[in-house]
Amino acid sequence: MKNLTQHHRPVIALVIADALFFTMTDPTKVSAAWLAIAFGLLIATLYMIITYILRFLRLYGIRLGKRERRLALFITATISSLAALQSVGGLNNHDIFVLVPLAVLLYAYVSYGRPKPEAAKGQ
């Protein structure tokens, strides 16, 4: 049990920080700095949830290996950019149809487009 709580300590701290911050602030009355902090907490929570979902997929045989962290970062960046556009009222269908495929292409380029370090040394 001790090992389990040590492994999940950052998640527990993040959930407590979210609960305290979002229950004690009123978004209509706080300054922009507090809204930026709230957005940062939202991104961190989203990243943690996506990381745990990708870890859960291992139970079904989907192993991403070293790409798991990169995929979690790309999914988090895509969803958080869409959330940021939505919060300022600038999100429409065109943005979704442009940003999501571009994020998928960028992930494919970054993940699979690089030569392996062994191949680069041999050239």
- Whether the pLDDT of residue 98 is over 80: the answer is yes
Taking the C-alpha atoms of residue 121 and residue 102, their distance in angstroms, rounded to an integer, is 30
- Whether the pLDDT of residue 35 is over 70: the answer is yes
- Whether the pLDDT of residue 60 is over 70: the answer is yes
Q: What is the pLDDT of residue 116?
A: 63
Domain boundaries, the chain: 2-116
Where is pLDDT greater, at 49 or 112?
Answer: 49
**Residue at token pair 């922009």:** 32
Where is pLDDT greater, at 117 or 90?
Answer: 90
Please give, one letter per residue, the 3-state secondary structure of 46-87: HHHHHHHHHHHHHHHCCCCCCHHHHHHHHHHHHHHHHHHHHH
Taking the C-alpha atoms of residue 109 and residue 99, their distance in angstroms, rounded to an integer, is 15
Non-local (6+) Cβ contacts of 41 within 8 A are 14, 17, 18, 21, 22
Give the lowest-confidence range in 43-47, 53-57, 62-66, 108-112.
62-66
- Whether the pLDDT of residue 38 is over 90: the answer is no
- Whether the pLDDT of residue 75 is over 70: the answer is yes
